[in-house]
Structure 1
């Protein structure tokens, strides 16, 4: 039976497991982290769709590091985390199945949310809230973890020793024959329904309903379109454009999900039947197909960031804004330099400035002195006019004084108090 490992088909499968996983893990890690950073930005993180997609990115990271990383280490270093300890055996297989199912059901949540927004826009504001989204996510998580909880019981870490007490067999396997039959004959069908059939059905029907609504909205907008649209019509047209952008992104995600996950579900169902009494070349062929369908499945958890950028206009805009803020500010090389006398000594420059300040004070005092032929009210108004032209003097106090002291009621002592005011701070 071990002769199948010498066949070219098996060698090709080993090459795939050694080369492709590190590329997918690297790209998936960068892409999902960038998705989380963009989706949690202040401008878009308030929407329920952003919350769903953020949790989806976290779930995809868990899929890559619990499932794909384990396979890569197995084929590259011939070390399986499931065959190391009881914890690794139970926890890894439970996380792999649960995270894959959870990612699929998050797409169901996004599809249902978009269906409600398209067909019941007024109810969506009260139904599709962040609180209801969090409750829905918690409910999905509990359901998925409970559905796969039988793995914590049925899969065990067996260690066998020889007569000398040396360990010669360590393997993560089924607890008994009955569970072996259940895990290989019955469970694949249950997993197919939870991972593929139910998401496929909801996604297809939901996308059809969304598409019908979008086409109706576009047809209605075109029929009522005029050369000069009213503000209300322009607002509706902009809203339909945003819905179309989100719908296009959702369609892309769902199509990629269906194309990438269906083959591995079909393989899991047929594997038990195909392996019975299979020849060496058939076993090698099945191993090659197992590598191919797995790589295809993990691409769904790797390239969501690229799909967001290609199909989501708002996501793409926010991503470029985030990059723009990360760029260092460009220094302005052109500066206006005030004219100064660089040939004068510091003592001479200080003396010149003191002389200029004295001259400025003298001019200010002279300009605000009242003329002899003017009345008291005219003198005050003249002073206000002169002082208001000064760059650093607040005219608010003068206006208040004018309001409290009309020109015909002002006394000469008040005018003198203004005349003798200290303007050294101007």
Structure 2
């Protein structure tokens, strides 16, 4: 399952695309006003307008996440390793999708058709990257499950070393799963990045199901199970915590981290499930290439939802974690120029320190 939009290979006035499996009629009379053309136009305009916003917002949020997660207060946590890697993976997804779909639609720059190596690289690496993002969310969810249900074992299993190893192994596994993309795609006689004739049946019939399982179906099922157990355990622990008179700061912090991870998992399910269901429906109905206008518009909408999943995590952290919000404020204030009040406070502090030092010197002189 790839996030490449099929309808954007359609150009009504480009004679080089007459061999496309989907073609729109070339109208020689009045401007197009039928429903088919209108749906295609809405889909194209919607993606051109929304995609840059998702890219900019997502990159800024992911960069801030990397900065916050590498500050001293978060650096010692294994969760920060997962979320930092997730921010990098999400940023790559946004960038690779943007330079393919948006460049092709708005600037008529088809990067995948310029070089066969890039065609193979994009088809393999892009799928591996966005699959890695879902596996990272699953990995951190499993860690929270262990921390909540088996706190004694968590000290041995949920370590920074384990997180680093996991974050290195997951991308390699994803690349191995999508290695078949390299021989499966090439530049055909018309110069399009297309499936290789020898591998066409496998790439167009079985690969979409494989990608859907790896990217969405498999992680979603496991996320529902693990997070359901986490929520059940948190509710059970909440009743016991209310009965306790002492305030355990460490357990409270672990609970806040767990809640944040649960929120991320719920957002992932809500934003990616429509995309996976849509592509499976397309292949089951035989409409992946021969799309109806309404199907093309629906594809754009679910694609925007899927891309949003890689841009909203920063805001989920801000919404669900007071500690993360505090760190963001510190980062923003550190980059901001001191105000007049802050400068006056610093000057007054320096003056008081100087006065105190002079007084100490005078006392010492009198004693001597």
| Bin of the TM-score, shorter chain as denominator length | 0.7 to 0.9
1:136-175 mapped onto 2 (5 Å cutoff): 136-158=166-188, 160=189, 169-175=190-196
Tell me, in whole angstroms, the C-alpha distance in 1 between the residues paired with 2:361 and 2:227: 69
Instruction: Figure out how many residues of one structure are paired with residues of the other and give that number.
Output: 325
Question: What is the CA distance between 1:72 and its match in structure 2?
Answer: 0.7
Question: What is the CA distance between 1:114 and its match in structure 2?
Answer: 0.4
Of 230, 233, 255, 1:244 maps to: 255
Tell me, in whole angstroms, the C-alpha distance in 1 between the residues paired with 2:218 and 2:361: 79
1:24-63 mapped onto 2 (5 Å cutoff): 24-63=54-93
Is the contact between residue 13 and residue 291 of structure 1 (CA under 8 Å) also seen in structure 2? yes
Tell me, in whole angstroms, the C-alpha distance in 1 between the residues paired with 2:344 and 2:324: 31
Q: Tell me the residue number matched to 1:133.
A: 163
TM-score, normalization by structure 1? 0.71
Is the contact between residue 21 and residue 69 of structure 1 (CA under 8 Å) also seen in structure 2? no
- Alignment partner of 1:332: what SS? helix
The Cα offsets for residues 17-58 of structure 1, whole Å up to 9 and x where unpaired, read as 211111111111111101111111011111010110000000
- Alignment partner of 1:2: what SS? coil
Structure 2 residue 296 is matched with structure 1 residue 284? no
Is the contact between residue 4 and residue 10 of structure 1 (CA under 8 Å) also seen in structure 2? no
Structure 2 residue 343 is matched with structure 1 residue 331? yes
Is the contact between residue 145 and residue 229 of structure 2 (CA under 8 Å) also seen in structure 1? yes
Identify unmatched segments of 5+ residues in structure 1.
161-168, 338-387, 396-425
Highest Rg: 1 or 2?
1
Tell me, in whole angstroms, the C-alpha distance in 1 between the residues paired with 2:233 and 2:366: 62
Tell me, in whole angstroms, the C-alpha distance in 2 between the residues paired with 1:302 and 1:96: 16
Pairwise CA RMSD: 2.5
Question: What is the CA distance between 1:275 and its match in structure 2?
Answer: 4.2
1:290-301 mapped onto 2 (5 Å cutoff): 290-301=299-310
Question: What is the CA distance between 1:274 and its match in structure 2?
Answer: 3.2
Of 180, 192, 207, 1:187 maps to: 207
Q: Tell me the residue number matched to 1:218.
A: 238
TM-score, normalization by structure 2? 0.82
The Cα offsets for residues 109-139 of structure 1, whole Å up to 9 and x where unpaired, read as 1001101111111221111111111111222
Relative to structure 1, the CA distance from residue 326 to residue 96 in structure 2 (aligned partners, 3 Å threshold; closer, same or farther) is: same
Tell me, in whole angstroms, the C-alpha distance in 2 between the residues paired with 1:221 and 1:51: 29
Q: Tell me the residue number matched to 1:234.
A: 247
Is the contact between residue 157 and residue 173 of structure 1 (CA under 8 Å) also seen in structure 2? yes
Which structure's residues are more often helix, by fraction? 2
Q: Tell me the residue number matched to 1:3.
A: 24
Question: What is the CA distance between 1:185 and its match in structure 2?
Answer: 1.2
Tell me, in whole angstroms, the C-alpha distance in 1 between the residues paired with 2:165 and 2:361: 66
1:331-350 mapped onto 2 (5 Å cutoff): 331-332=343-344
- Alignment partner of 1:3: what SS? coil
Is the contact between residue 10 and residue 287 of structure 1 (CA under 8 Å) also seen in structure 2? yes
The Cα offsets for residues 295-346 of structure 1, whole Å up to 9 and x where unpaired, read as 0100000111111100112111111122222233322188699xxxxxxxxx
- Alignment partner of 1:156: what SS? strand
Identify unmatched segments of 5+ residues in structure 2.
1-21, 27-31, 352-359
- Alignment partner of 1:173: what SS? strand
Structure of greater relative contact order (alpha carbons < 8 Å, 6+ residues apart): 2
The Cα offsets for residues 180-231 of structure 1, whole Å up to 9 and x where unpaired, read as 2211211111111111122112211111111122111111122x34xxx3xx
Of 262, 266, 273, 2:277 maps to: 266
